[in-house]
A and B are shown apart, each in its own frame.
Chain A
């Protein structure tokens, strides 16, 4: 299979701070998604980003497929950003692999 590693595993921020979450993968992938799992367990789509850069409000993501990593940027963090952030990749046009997640806690 493929290894998908996310860092950092845990992150504590003060409200208003910026952060960068990283997703490394050990082989070429077909696509990549970022999700936010809120405290109620719901997985919310953030970005579908096999390559390039996308922005959505305070969030943006960049995937550099040739170097096998993706970054998720959160600016001006809010308490509602708390939860776990996952990246997931499609490998060999066949199976999906999730990273172990970054647990974010934004304090007021």
Chain B
């Protein structure tokens, strides 16, 4: 157990809908990262937050957004869902702002029907 928690574990929804994925970092970690793992694209970095502020963006679609709250948990919002958004979404956390070891949560498996 890495200490990073993600909810829900599984999510099934329809095209066009909106969902929210939640992540709680390890105790003491200030950074949260979001990743998407799909069969065709592999593991892709989406976005990084440090202590409530956005620090870096990767291949995150405009339909997706994230935020980190004062208690340091983070939410990833996915809207206008398409079939291709079906994937495993991981959250990771680290102590510092960027150059630190990351620890991954168990992931949320999203299925868009």
Residues in A lying within 8 Å of B, measured CB to CB: 30-31, 33, 35, 41-45, 48, 86, 88, 90, 93-98, 100-101
Shortest distance from the beta carbon of B64 to any chain A beta carbon, whole Å: 16
Shortest distance from the beta carbon of A29 to any chain B beta carbon, whole Å: 10
Secondary structure type dominating chain A contacts: strand
Closest to B90 in A: A43
Q: B70 at interface (Cβ–Cβ under 8 A)?
A: no
What is the interface size of chain B, counting residues whose CB is below 8 A from a CB of the partner? 21
Shortest distance from the beta carbon of B54 to any chain A beta carbon, whole Å: 12
A90 touches B98 (CB 8 A): yes
- With a cutoff of 8 Å between Cβ atoms, the chain A residues found around residue B44 in the complex are 98
Closest to A43 in B: B104
A96 touches B45 (CB 8 A): yes
Known contacts A48-B101, A96-B33, A41 near B106 by CB under 8 Å: yes
Closest to A40 in B: B106
Known: A45-B2, A95-B45; 5 extra A-B contacts, CB below 8 A, are A30-B98, A41-B109, A45-B101, A90-B99, A98-B44
13 contacts between A and B (CB under 8 A): A31-B100, A33-B102, A42-B104, A43-B104, A44-B104, A45-B103, A90-B98, A90-B99, A95-B45, A96-B35, A96-B102, A97-B45, A98-B44
Residues in B lying within 8 Å of A, measured CB to CB: 2, 33, 35, 42-45, 56, 58, 88, 90, 98-104, 106-107, 109
A98 touches B99 (CB 8 A): no
* Residue with the greatest number of chain B CB neighbours at <10 A, chosen from A31, A86, A96, A100: A96
B102 touches A93 (CB 8 A): no
* Residue with the greatest number of chain A CB neighbours at <10 A, chosen from B90, B100, B102: B102
Shortest distance from the beta carbon of B63 to any chain A beta carbon, whole Å: 20
Contact of A100 among B35, B42, B109 (CB under 8 A): B42
